[in-house]
Structure 1
Amino acid sequence: MKYIIFDFDGTLADSKEAFLRAWNKLSEKYKYEKLKVEDYELMRGLSIKERSKHVNFPMHKLPLFMPEFLKVYRESITEITLFDGMKELLRDLEKSGYRAAIISSNAEKNIREFLLHNGLDNITEVLCSSRIFGKDKIINKFLKKHNLQQAEVIYVGDECRDIVACKKAGVKVIWVGWGYDAAEIAQAENPDYSVYKPEEILQVIR
């Protein structure tokens, strides 16, 4: 194992409030249903298609909507925090000789600003997909760039689409229980490992 690849939102970063703020700002503009903090748990138990139906959002508009959403999201980037235990995990991974990277469907500019703001200089590789279902292609690109075998990396993510992408790319995946998808949704996709505390990630890798 050489590289630990992390998802960003819901895995490394607790961006729930930034997401809700950006969504509600744009939902007012485009007449979609607004979300309250208490809607978060309900949404965790829904698939992406069910979520889009819940907020009256047509999925075919996603490619046009995402760039504007991520731009508004960036307004809250300094308020987004690392999940408790993540900074210590990244430090321990570095001490153990592992390299860390991020592959996300967020914008690279947002992620790099977050890393800079939080003093995280041990993640130098950030790759982003403009499509929320395109992570498998980015993972394959990462493997090719670094001349890595599939068994030399493991992906850490919080959503079903992370699990599906990893299976397509042929790499192992650790699902984390503190992110956007609830356990009953994620477990249906059979992740290789499931963890509920950041320190358990290092236990799995070792």
Structure 2
Amino acid sequence: MTENIIFDVDGTLWDSAEVVARAWNIVYERRGLTRRFSEKEVSECMGMTLEEIEEKIFSDTPPQEKKEIIDDCLTTQNALLQREGGKLYPMVKETIEELSSNYGIYIVSNCECGYIEALLSSTGMGAFVGDFLCAGMTGQGKGDNLLTLMKKNGLKNSVYVGDTRMDETACKKAGIPFIWAAYGFGTAENPAATVKSISEVKEAVKRL
């Protein structure tokens, strides 16, 4: 019987691509750089680690300034997300609140520090989430972070809800069922369950 539900962020709880693209463009404009990021470009990076994003989207950034610019982008995006939030998928807050009455609710993401905090602060969902972990906090991949979070909190009988094959692979490493959020950014190969809306998670968990 499932006791805990661990959620991904991007493509599962919200879509922040428009706000993130806008934040990065603010940084580049402020620094006099001509490069501009589209919402589509940013959405294609959702779920990646910072190293993967750096290789995919920041490869043409001036090498001598790259770390400083990326740090500026992350700081600016998190500040903007704190104020405005991303676009929550329908029924996310209501579903998380309802699920928290019967399950432990946790978050594991490949994001950097400050991003999950911005999500929880801007949406008011912090009260429903027991703990969270991200790549920026540990330097680990998602599979290892799932294992770390579960060990840290003594979690058993857990499931993960995410939207990409990377999430599915992480669940295999962590030895937990993967529920595919088909409304998100990615695809899945052989999920334990599929949901077309986060509101379907409750029934999907019961069937596992």
TM range (shorter): 0.7 to 0.9
- In the alignment, structure 1 residue 18 sits paired with structure 2 residue 22: no
Aligned pair partner of 1:36 in 35, 38, 41: 38
Query: What letter is aligned with 1:82?
Result: L
In the aligned structure 1, how far is the partner of 2:153 from the partner of 2:58?
42
CA–CA distance in structure 1, aligned partners of residues 117 and 151 of structure 2: 23
| Secondary structure in 1 matching 2:105 | strand
Say if 2:59 is the partner of 1:57: yes
Aligned-partner residue type, residue 193 of structure 1 = A
- Equivalent in the alignment of 2:202: 202
Which residue identity does 1:7 align to in structure 2? D
Flag structure 1 segments of 5+ consecutive residues without an equivalent: none
Q: Distance in 2 between matches of 1:35 and 1:17?
A: 10
Question: What is the CA–CA distance in structure 1 between the aligned matches of 2:32 and 2:158, rounded to whole Å?
Answer: 40
Which residue of structure 2 aligns with residue 118 of structure 1?
Answer: 123
Cα distance, 1:132 vs structure 2: 8.3
Letter in 1 for 2:190: N
Aligned to 2:193: 193
CA contact (8 A) 2:182 2:196 kept: yes
Question: Are the equivalent residues in 2 in contact too, given 1:156–1:174 (CA < 8 A)?
Answer: yes
Q: Residue 175 of structure 1: SS of its match in structure 2?
A: strand
Give the corresponding residue for 1:83: 89
Taking the aligned partners of 1:79 and 1:107, their CA distance within structure 2 comes to 18
What SS does structure 1 have at the residue aligned with 2:184? coil
- Residue-by-residue CA offset, 1:128-187 (whole Å, 9 max, x unaligned): 1128870111111112122334xx111111222211111111111112123232xxxx23
Number of equivalent positions: 191
Q: Is the Cα contact below 8 Å between 1:33 and 1:56 reproduced in 2?
A: no
Q: In structure 1, the residue corresponding to 2:100 is in which secondary structure? A: helix
The residue type paired with residue 77 of structure 2 is: Y
Q: How far apart are residue 82 of structure 1 and its match?
A: 2.2
How far apart are the structure 2 equivalents of 1:155 and 1:22? Answer: 29
| 109-118 or 1-10: bigger deviation | 109-118
Structure 1 residue 92 corresponds to structure 2 residue 104: no
State the Cα distance separating 1:74 from its structure 2 match.
0.9
Amino acid at match of 1:14: D
Map 1:140-179 onto structure 2 (within 5 A). 140-149=147-156, 152-179=157-184
Counterpart for residue 7 of structure 2: 6
